[in-house]
Amino acid sequence: MSAPPLIVLTGAGISAESGLATFRDNNGLWERHRVEAVATPEAFARDPALVHRFYNARRAQLADPAIRPNAAHHALARLFAAWPGPALLVTQNVDDLHDRAMPGSAALLHMHGELKKIRCTGCGHGREWAGDLSPQTPCPGCAATGTLRPDIVWFGEMPLGMERIEAALHSCGLFLSIGTSGQVYPAAGFCAALRGRARTVELNLEPSLGSHLFSEAIQGKATEIVPGYVETLLSKQKQ
């Protein structure tokens, strides 16, 4: 059987059982902050020290040995290693759990940026960053201060890799959406864009806002439903 071009979209729900908080499951607060207070260019302009402290804490959390890829991240790594057709893993997550489960994979695209990357708004220098940032941290590229920011896509900013995502959507035959509430565009619109052209499957703890648009919706915890779904898909490909 020939394999349809695959896109998997993931959101915070896939990392929840690894110990990372989702965005909208806690009365609209993300780690006790309103999203608009820490995840907008306006918030950064108003109080860069607060925004840096917030992202420093999120980045430091990734170094906690208890925070590890879970069975759902590993199942997707198996899927991507074995899928015989084109495949793209688009994550909205800024954590590095997919990266750790499938190191060096060219199929992984962080459309909302990465906690472990920073960039300079002055000279454009970008690099990996494991430690803390503050408004006083000099840019390793141009030595300016006050210009470094987390390489995260904030509300109102353009997601990364959209050309590649749109090209993949154009030819997609199978779309899986895992652990995302479907509230943030453009990712929330991918399923509707594929309607009638691709098989679309939602795997989420609860039905998302756009759940009715999918060909199939499976409810449960990611670690419980994703590995089984992946094994079924792979065994169908072998038939």
The residues binding ligand APR (CB under 6 A) are 11-13, 16-17, 22-25, 35, 92, 112, 179-181, 183-184, 204-206, 208, 221-222
Q: Which residue is nearest to ligand APR (CB)?
A: 13
State which residue, 12 or 168, has the beta carbon closest to ligand APR: 12
Strand order in the sheet with 126-128: 126-128, 113-120, 148-152
Extract the tokens encoding 233. 């898909």
State which residue, 115 or 139, has the beta carbon closest to ligand APR: 115
State which residue, 13 or 227, has the beta carbon closest to ligand APR: 13
Whether the ω angle into residue 186 lies within 30 degrees of 0, i.e. cis, is yes
98 classed as catalytic? no
Give the Cα separation of 204 and 16 in Å (integer).
11
CB 33 within 8 Å of CB 112: no
Residue among 52, 73, 112, 125 flagged as catalytic = 112
Give the Cα separation of 81 and 223 in Å (integer).
19
Q: Is the backbone of residue 32 left (phi > 0), alpha (psi -120 to 50) or beta?
A: left
CB 137 within 8 Å of CB 129: no
CB contact set of 77 (below 8 Å; sequence gap of 6+): 69, 98, 101, 102, 105
Least CB distance from residue 207 to ligand APR, whole Å?
Answer: 8
State which residue, 120 or 187, has the beta carbon closest to ligand APR: 187
**Which residue do the tokens 């060909």 mark?**
215
Instruction: Supply the residues annotated as catalytic.
Output: 112
